[in-house]
């Protein structure tokens, strides 16, 4: 099996792609994979570290308003389509899969014109411009949430698979999670994080509720500050008596996030698609504070959809405070079983396996 994978810009596009590569390699050890990304994208570093052959095209996104930059983008797009066709003809893939981001546009478009089986994976409830454009050309749209179907009415085929990242999380070793935190399995783990760099608003809310957390000794709070904020947060925490902090674990970053998520009882985070895929696959309720700084406000739409399903509570950043967050934690934990069951109903723990089967079917039809 020969696969071309593309996706970039953010970890939310890149990590599902890598999870898919891992699943392919698990079932097809001799599979050959080529990753097409952009020179400036986050994927260049992440994919190379994963030891996957990596080549680049030059591409940028369209502005939402008419501008001279959009004309330049069209020229880049056409050049990148040509470059992508060159890569595809040289590599001769059985299928091309894209997980989102501007870089997917020319690669999947080129593959469709060359009659190569094509798959787009959409992580968010509401798709971005690139995936909407590609839905007119590719053979299959794989979605993470049922609510995405209405946005792909003209697509050839739409299948609910879930997010491949979910499959990696459900396979994580819980024992290692408890060892990292140095706690026993009877503790209720509350995970709080704002992404790899942290989120100032979430960190501030945590500091505001910190004096009251010793009242909840049956909860163990895992607070991920982000590397940028860690030193400042530590200075604030050191103002308190260490005896009051026995149920708190503070770290700048978690390299073993799947193992911690596997033992988490309540997730408090932004509303990125990969995070939501992970927690729903595990049946973990969430309190979501969507980032107001993302394109098309898609995190708020993700969070709202999950809240409507009964699996989460949403707090908008402008409404966030320590008291509101703590009150919401207590509320969700009191009704934990209901929220957990709703999350399980949404979760797709075998997402990567299902997506691989869909790809294999496409290849057989070729």
In the sheet where 140-143 sits, what is the strand order?
Answer: 54-57, 32-38, 2-6, 95-98, 118-122, 140-143, 158-160
Please compute, for residue 318, the number of CA atoms within 13 A of its CA located in the half-sphere on the CB side. Answer: 3
SS3 188: strand
Question: Residue 135, annotated ligand binder?
Answer: no
Residue 151 carries which DSSP code? Answer: G
Residue 306 to residue 292: CA distance in whole angstroms: 17
Question: Residue 309, annotated ligand binder?
Answer: no
- CA-based nearest residue to 134, from 96, 93, 85: 96
**Contact by Cβ (8 Å): 296, 126:** yes
- CA-based nearest residue to 264, from 245, 287, 242: 287
Q: How many CB atoms sit inside 10 A of residue 156's CB?
A: 13
Question: Residue 128, annotated ligand binder?
Answer: no
Roughly what angle, to the nearest 10 degrees, separates helices 200-209 and 322-334? 80
Question: Residue 299, annotated ligand binder?
Answer: yes
Question: Residue 196, annotated ligand binder?
Answer: yes
**Residues, the chain, total?**
366
Question: Residue 11, annotated ligand binder?
Answer: yes
Annotated binding residues for UDP-N-acetyl-alpha-D-glucosamine, as ranges?
A: 10-12, 124, 196, 299
Annotated binding residues, as ranges?
A: 10-12, 124, 196, 299
């Amino acid at each position: 099996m020969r696969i071309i994978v593309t996706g970039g810009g953010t970890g939310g596009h890149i990590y599902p792609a890598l999870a898919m590569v891992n699943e392919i390699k698990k079932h097809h050890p001799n599979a050959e994979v080529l990753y097409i990304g952009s020179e400036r994208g986050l994927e260049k570093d992440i994919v190379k570290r994963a030891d996957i052959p990596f080549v680049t095209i030059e591409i940028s996104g369209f502005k939402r308003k008419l501008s001279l930059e959009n004309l330049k983008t069209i020229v880049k797009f056409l050049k990148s389509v040509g470059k992508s066709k060159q890569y595809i003809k040289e590599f001769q893939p059985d299928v091309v899969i894209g997980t989102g981001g501007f870089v997917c546009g020319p690669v999947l478009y080129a593959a469709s014109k060359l009659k190569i089986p094509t798959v787009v994976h959409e992580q968010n409830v509401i798709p971005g411009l690139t995936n909407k454009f590609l839905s007119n050309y590719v053979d299959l749209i794989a979605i993470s949430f049922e609510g995405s179907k209405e946005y792909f009415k003209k697509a050839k085929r739409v299948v609910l698979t879930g997010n491949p990242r979910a499959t990696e999380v459900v396979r994580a070793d819980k024992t290692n999670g408890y060892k990292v935190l140095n706690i026993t399995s009877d503790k209720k783990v509350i995970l709080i994080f704002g992404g790899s760099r942290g989120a100032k608003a979430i960190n501030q809310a945590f500091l505001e509720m910190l004096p009251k957390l010793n009242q909840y000794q049956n909860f163990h709070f895992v607070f991920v500050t982000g590397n940028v904020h860690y030193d400042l947060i530590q200075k604030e925490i050191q103002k308190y008596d260490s005896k009051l902090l026995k149920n708190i674990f503070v770290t700048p970053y978690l390299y073993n996030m799947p193992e911690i998520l596997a033992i988490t009882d309540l997730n408090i985070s932004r509303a990125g698609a990969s995070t939501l895929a992970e927690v729903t696959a595990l049946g973990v309720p969430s309190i979501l504070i969507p980032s107001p700084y993302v394109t098309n406000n898609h995190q708020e739409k993700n969070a709202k959809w999950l809240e409507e399903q009964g699996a989460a509570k949403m707090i908008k950043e402008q409404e966030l405070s320590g008291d509101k967050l703590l009150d919401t934690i207590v509320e969700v934990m009191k009704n934990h079983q209901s929220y957990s069951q709703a999350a399980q109903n949404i979760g797709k723990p075998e997402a990567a396996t299902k997506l691989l089967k869909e790809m294999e079917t496409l290849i057989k039809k070729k």
